[in-house]
Amino acid sequence: VSYPNVCDRCSGPLPVSTMSRFNTEMCCMACIDKERAHPKYKEAEEVEIRQVRAGNYNYHGIGKPADL
């Protein structure tokens, strides 16, 4: 298994990787902070929780908003 060392979204360095809530990109904290501030973040989080509760662990997110 090889771990990515650049952010999928901004291609910046990735000391700590966190998966986006909008899709399956591995993002740096700066990008995660940006998506947390997006108005659709709450919706993405709620849909994900519902999917996981329903047993759908292959859920890939609602998709990255075009303006993120």
The binding site for Zn ion (CB under 5 A) comprises 7, 9-10, 12, 28, 31
> And the tokens for 19?
């998966």
CB of 42 to Zn ion, least distance (A): 21
DSSP reduced 3-state for 42: helix
Residue count of the chain, please give it: 68
Q: Which residue has the closest beta carbon to Zn ion? A: 7
Q: Smaller CB distance to Zn ion: residue 15 or 55?
A: 15
Report the C-alpha gap between 38 and 31 in whole angstroms.
Answer: 11
Query: Which single residue is written with the structure tokens 């997110």?
Result: 61
CB of 10 to Zn ion, least distance (A): 3
CB of 48 to Zn ion, least distance (A): 20
